[in-house]
Each structure stands twice: as C-alpha cells, then as structure tokens.
Amino acid sequence: MPDAKKGAQATHQGQKPKSKWWARLIYDIKSELHKGEAERKEENPQDRSSRRTANATVWIAVVTAAMTVFSGLTLLEIYWGGADTHKLAESTLAASRAWVVVQGTGFGFTQDKKFPTGRVILADSGESPAFGMEGWRCVEVRADEPPLQNGILQKSNTGICLSIAGGTLGKGVPITMDAFVPAIAPDGFAKDTDGIGPHFYYWGTVTYDIYPSDGKRHSTSFSLKNGGSQLSACRESGYQTD
C-alpha cells in the first residue's frame, strides 16, 4: 500500500505544470517577433526596400483616410455653424428692424355735407425707424372689395387716390391719414361690416427701407371697409406686411 502512494506521488511530480493562457500569448508574440526579425535579417536589400515601400504606402493610405474624415467633419461643423449664424442674424434683424403697421382706424361722416370719411393711422412697431417711406391710398364707396392683381392691391380708376409721402417714420410718432368721398352715401349704404349693400372702402400700400438694411424694400398693405365707427379688414386682402 505504501508503494502505491509513492508511485502516485512520483507520477504527479513527474508531470509538467500547465502554463497560463497569458504566458502562452506572450510566448507566441515573442516567437512571431523573433521570426519576423530573423526573416528581415535574411532578406536581401531589394526585398527590404520593397517591404519598406509597401509599409510606407499603407501608412500614407491610413493618414489620407484620417485626413479625409477629419476634413468632412470640419466641413459639416462649418455648415451647421453657418446655418445657426444665419438663423441668429435673421432673428436679430427681425427683432431690431422697423415694422410699419396700421395702429388705428375710424369711420364717420363729414359734419357739413355728410360725406363718408375714413381714418387710417400708420405707426412703426419696430425698434428702429422706417426710412424712405412712400406709397398710395384710395377711398371709394363701392359694392365689392378693392381690386387685386396676383394678390396685390391695385388703385381704382373711379376712386379718390392720394399719395403717401411720409419720409421717415419713427417709433412713437404715428401718422394719421384722413380721406373722404365727396358724395353723399347712396341709398342702401351698409353701416355694418357684414351688411348687404355698398361700403366705404379705404385701401393702400406703403413701402419703406429698414436699418440695418437687408437690400430690399419692405411693404405694408391694408384693405378696409366701414363697420360701425371703425374700419375692418376685408376678406380677400385685409392686411399684408413683410
């Protein structure tokens, strides 16, 4: 029995211990390095030159690809940054530019001859003045809305048309424009906006420049008709501004 134990111990001691996986990996790497070094020592000058040329070509290709990716990302960043800058500039301009609007209206009759008369008050609701303001306005008692051509208000050959020459319109300094039709309102004249029959119409367009300039003329158009003591927007045209 003791002989059997001694034999088992001898057999166990005679076995080589298994190497760990990381030790085998290091061994394999060292073997490949030594093998490559031996092959490089044995290669002739022509093979060595070809190998170096091939290695250089690979590195040039890698560097070129990396530069291409970097350039593409840079262009995208410039594009996105430019779009954001453009939007910021537009929003800044919209917040600081002049905006000519209709601030108030009125309707009534002259005290002496009972002619229908209207009032339109233009004002600058923006943060900077409107420059070079000019335009036209018309009044007329008619059965239909003022003429449009391609969505743009037109003057009337039968109406009373006057010019608008305001020059510079500053914030807090509105201009009041009164106009009347030199004729007594006809029978069936509508006193309400939705009433049936002829209405008093007051319409026009004004153009102006803004600061800072964006290289184009801006405009405000209005098309109004009587209703009570005020003028209300027409269905087709109403108010237009840019």
Q: Which of 25, 27, 55 is nearest to 40 (CA)?
A: 55
Can you give the residue ranges of every domain in the chain? 42-95, 100-241
Tokens for 7, please give them: 């034999």
208 contacts 130 by C-beta, under 8 angstroms: yes
Element of type H or E holding 149: strand 148-149
**Tens-digit pLDDT profile for residues 173-218:** 999 999 999 999 999 999 999 989 999 999 999 999 998 888 899 9
- pLDDT given for residue 151 in this prediction: 86
201 contacts 139 by C-beta, under 8 angstroms: yes
> Residues 143-149: what's their mean pLDDT?
93
The domain over range 100-241 is classified in CATH as 2.60.40 = yes
Tokens for 83, please give them: 């779009």
| pLDDT of residue 1 exceeding 50 | no
Determine the Cα–Cα distance for residues 164 and 222; give it in Å rounded to an integer.
Answer: 13
> Residues 157-170: what's their mean pLDDT?
92
138 contacts 120 by C-beta, under 8 angstroms: no
**Tens-digit pLDDT profile for residues 75-132:** 666 666 555 554 544 455 466 799 999 999 999 999 888 999 999 999 999 989 999 9
- Using CA of residue 46, residue 47, residue 50, residue 51, what is the dihedral sign? negative
**Cα 86 to Cα 90, 96, 98, 214, distances in angstroms:** 6, 15, 20, 13
Determine the Cα–Cα distance for residues 180 and 119; give it in Å rounded to an integer.
Answer: 9
